[in-house]
Structure 1
């Protein structure tokens, strides 16, 4: 055994961490010493760092999946457990040499890292370039002791926590870097992320010229503390949340808490419709961004949580060609009422919209318009004489869509 090499290498590792206090610098130094590929993952098998000092490719299931997806695959984890690799690593405090199961073609050393009496990470050294030596085994043990100190002493200490796993998955989804839903489901399994049935995405934009941009991490932390069913990530300097539950009432409660928090911070957030597949996250993100553009044009001073559905027509118009002739798509009944209101200074359009939005309930509609219910009935009767039965579903639907289309087109046209 080359004791001088061990002492010199140990000194290089200690100096690397002491001088930079950076775990990545330490791992680069280690990879150079080992002259073999190394990998460090969280306790949930998310890649923290991987380095191949020779640059020469090699074929290995764990390495290939980690490089491609940022995680050890569910298949490799299954093999770890089936063949006793996991139990062997968990039962030993020293490095474990694996030349069977996933290590049959490319032998490797694996050692667990511990902190607060629990496993926080795994280190692996692959025998891809040169044979692993006794000196390597000793150095792996020394390196892992330094890494445990690094985890405890620096910002890397929380890399093994689940929120960072969720952030990684959400970022890769938003950036469309997970090519297929099957791959995504494997990532969820590897990350031990058990999702519920229902989702909302909430997009909280932070203005570039506003001091609130400096509060992104504060806001993210406050939301995570306030709402237990949320997962969040900073993306393009904005906060993106996913709230997830099997219960719609629980989701509504979470939305109310988030809305209150946003109002306190004078911010607006855009809330997506309910969806059931987290893989669709990018779709609802882009929908929320488009909605915010329209919201910002029309109601920029409002704060709290804004529903995408409330701006759906406007967002669709915003995405359509600017020279479209919207009046061609207005139903005849709407045109009749609109012309009558203009000539006679009445509010029949407002009355019929309120009637529909209040489930054709005369009392509630009258309360919304601050008029007596008898007055409401008289107005509806007059409207019926102009366009037909005001309780006929298709007529109400056509009228409502035309009203929304007309006013959104009018507002967007002003800008």
Structure 2
């Protein structure tokens, strides 16, 4: 009950201030009435959809749309509220000063200034337009990011070896076959030596991937193989199941999905990749993350590996690297992860700024990180989840090139 009272109060305050901004800028009655009706309809629709959410089903395209609508409506209105509330503080201080000095006659509070409301609406329009763009176009704005990484202990035969990495497919969110086929074409165009998939093939249910199996089977064969690990969403943890066996059967079906699209699923194990008489170790662990399922077993996966073996680790959640991998005595030269999606929202201008709210939760959230000569690369994700769009943090296909030697200046 308290949560509903808080929600009602929150909406009432936000809507009141947002309406004040529009009313200060324009006095056109039909426009203000239309605004009120649209706002009312949106509130009713959102409340209805949230009450219909079925925890046995989990996320659907309709729940994705609803959450997107919430963000599009209320992030701009929260910004409007900040501006208008700040102006109210100024108005109250001005009124008290006027009373104390007896300089003002008439109304106690000074009138709202049209300029402030106009600026507030202008600022609020930025996230409104950005979020709309993200839902319509941004979620399929695939980018190929090429990242060379230098290692002094890389076997000579692997100098120039390329790895195509994808992560966080979340196939249950897709709604445009043409765009996904375009992304598969981009993957195939990279001509990499090996392809690695770092988890989250679905949101929850194995059936989400069924319409897309043929599409992902278009990913070509690679000379040195296609390998994958599980992500947190692959375990079916985020819905209610009628029976434990249903969850178990779904998990088995999800593990089989990776094989159905041609990837060798690695479950706390390693394989050697051999080239010209030399080799590197590819290590794959199950999910391990702070606040998420922790079944990744690095010791089991690396059994019999030595400190001198050159190792590439696939671990879905970058917090695993931060907690356990980067200082591990067995020396994992390169870790590949995903999971964060870069929150699907942020600002990235190479060489100038790289920011997303997700960085306050994950110190390593997108791109390349280094600690004592050991590297982590966090893929920004192929698909999308929760918010049905992307703003500034685009879906990523990574091509990593292993280079022998020290990093060039």
With the shorter chain as reference, the TM-score category is: under 0.3
Q: RCO higher in 1 or 2 (8 Å CA, sep ≥ 6)?
A: 2
Higher Cα Rg, which structure: 1
TM-score norm. by structure 2 comes to 0.25
TM-score norm. by structure 1 comes to 0.25
